[in-house]
Chain A
Amino acid sequence: MRKKLLMILTFIGGLYYFVYWVMPVESRLEDTLAYFGKVTLVIGGFAFLLGVINMVRLHGGKIVLKRPGYHNSVALIVAMIAMTLAELLRFYIKPTPDWVSKAYDLLFFHMRTPIDSTIFSLLAFYMASAAYRAFRIKSLEAGIMMAVAVIVMLGQITVGISLTKWIPSEMLQLQNIREWFMKYWNAAAQRGILFGAMVGALALSMRIWLSLERGSFFDRQL
């Protein structure tokens, strides 16, 4: 029964937006759009809550049973509660007390921001090492790829661009060769990928709308 209900709700939800796009503006269907927008926001709010409950259950269980690595779970739960409290207090207590502002700044600007940036910055080190170890010209295709990569990289930076500034023909200057690769070869490939992805998305949307998709709850007996 629950499965059928889900299928019916999914179909009606999809039907509304399908009809919205194909009906003329005069249909006044637009007037209901804001209402449905708010409905999805509320549903989304519940999804957030479910996520939090799920995380607390999973990591709470780990902490209670003292499973290996439980201290990471403690850090996660503490960080989550601290950040939520700091944000809520900052938003709802007006004027914001000094200690709340300080706690928020400490957590967001002096912990969360540098940690995130640092982790992502590690990529620069890995990329340098990976380019050195893995990028070998083992075939003609690999050779072409490397040549294009070098041109695009040099064409992206100012010193690279000035290397070929002396060439009288602008066409042969690095930044223009790079632009040519990006505008024509790259754009054509990207268009092809986009087109394929969109056809796939259309097929997937149809399958979800008509509840034909396998996996997730569709296969399960609810």
Chain B
Amino acid sequence: MKKPWYEWIQSIDRRIIYLVVFVLVSLPFFIPIPLPMDVSEQVQKLYNKVEEIAEYNKTAKKKKVVLFSMEWDPAVQAECWPQTEAMAEHCLTRGVPFILFSRWRPEGPTLAQQIAEKRAKEHGKKYGEDWVNFGYKRMDLPAFLAFIKDIYSQVTKDTEGTPIRTVPMMKHVESIRDVDLIFHVTGSVGVEQWIQYLQPETGVDVSIGCTAIIGPEMYPYLDSGQMVGMMEGLSGAAQYERLVGHLEGRGTRGMGSQNLAHFWIIAMMILGNVGYVFQRRRERLDKQRVEMSGE
């Protein structure tokens, strides 16, 4: 017997769904879709904070520094790569030195190194003067507390094996208090420890670049002012790229895929529910008919 239409639209083969997802996600890489872009309050605040540091650095002898806490790995690079790239672009173009560092993800600083090298080459910036890579330094909470007290007690060499005290950029950093902003990029956790242990003692501002799935957990910190700003998911990265004028970045390019994939998911949810509502209506009518014929 032929299936009624409301049953049919509830049982579309999952391979067809997968195929459409694949086509929709791939399409914008070949045919770029021009998209309008609004900048959210959190992204704007983060941008303003970096601008504030850049303005200070213009005249200051001892420059303020941004610490990139790179707690991400290849699994979440679709979102975290463009976030790191947009921030690195901003820092390099505006004369804000930065440090790459990770406590949990060995892959984070390695991937961030690629980003920084590429952006730095484009802007004629130098390793050691405009940025430095501390690499992955495994730190439990006690070691992290010691790091907050004295960076040099826990990190002695950079990824090249150079003692960090001899890296030219580090002349600006005597202690963690000389870091003016923490930019924590993650697909999971960790930013809370900067807020709990670093901020109360030093007043250093904390910000985050996170996957969209982590974003909702950050709102209490944004609301309380413990976090100055946030790049949430791919759209956060795309908004930041727009602010820094880096429109060829992965964030802007990826938004086309995300737009289409979201629409497809919403369309599938609506389709499934339309079928479900009509099926229930039909079942109710059938039941009434049986009851009436029984009487």
Contact = CB atoms under 8 A, between A and B. Distances in A.
Interface in B24-59: 25, 35-38, 40-41
Given A125-B18, A137-B273, A190-B220, A40 B149 contact: no
Given A108-B110, A129-B17, A156 B78 contact: no
B78 A121 contact: yes
A175 B271 contact: no
A127 interface: yes
B32 to A, nearest CB: 13
Interface stretch (B166-174, B211-219, B284-292): B211-219
Contacts of A11: none
Interface residues of A, number: 59
B142 A36 contact: yes
B111 interface: yes
Given A117-B77, A158-B35, A175-B40, A125 B21 contact: yes
Interface string B242-260: 0000000000000100110
Residues of B in contact with A, size category: 35 or more
Contacts, number: 161
Interface stretch (B63-71, B123-131, B261-269): B261-269
B203 interface: no
Interface in B214-251: 215-217, 219-220, 223, 233, 235, 238
A133 B220 contact: no
Contact of A157 (B143, B259, B273): B259
A22 interface: no
B38 A33 contact: no
Interface of A: 17, 30, 33-41, 44, 48, 91, 94, 108-109, 112-117, 119-121, 124-125, 127-129, 131-133, 135-137, 146, 149-150, 153-154, 156-162, 165, 175, 179, 182-183, 186-187, 190-191, 194
Given A35-B146, A160-B259, 8 more contacts: A36-B146, A41-B140, A113-B74, A128-B268, A157-B235, A158-B35, A158-B238, A158-B255
13 contacts: A48-B138, A120-B76, A125-B22, A128-B265, A128-B268, A131-B269, A136-B276, A137-B276, A150-B266, A157-B258, A158-B37, A158-B38, A182-B216
Closest A-B pairs by Cβ, 6 of them: A37-B146, A34-B153, A116-B74, A132-B268, A120-B75, A187-B219
Interface of B: 12, 14, 17-18, 21-22, 25, 35-38, 40-41, 73-78, 107, 110-111, 114, 138-140, 142-147, 149-150, 153-154, 161, 212, 215-217, 219-220, 223, 233, 235, 238, 255, 258-259, 261-266, 268-269, 271-273, 276-277
